[in-house]
Amino acid sequence: MSAEIVNLRQFRKKQARSVKEKQAEQNRVTFGRTKAEKSLTKALNEKSVKTHEAGRIETTESED
């Protein structure tokens, strides 16, 4: 029964790289949109708000 010899310095570096890569992947998902994609999303949201407001039925207050 012999155990595998592990260099702790290399193990720590490998683990740190893994953590940094996971953080980088998360950042790519969160912030990785182009300016065109951001402006398209903004325009679509504004259009949907205007469409929603255009369908609103106006009610009038009668005799206060």
Going from the first residue of the chain to its last (64 residues), give the mean pLDDT of each consecutive group of 10, the final group possibly shorter: 88 97 93 92 96 86 64
Instruction: Give domain limits for the chain.
Output: 8-53
What does the DSSP assignment read for 12-54? Answer: HHHHHHHHHHHHHHHHHHHH---HHHHHHHHHHHHHHHHHHHH
pLDDT at 56: 83
pLDDT at 17: 98
pLDDT at 8: 95
pLDDT at 63: 61
Q: Give the Cα separation of 13 and 18 in Å (integer).
A: 9
pLDDT at 55: 85
pLDDT at 64: 52
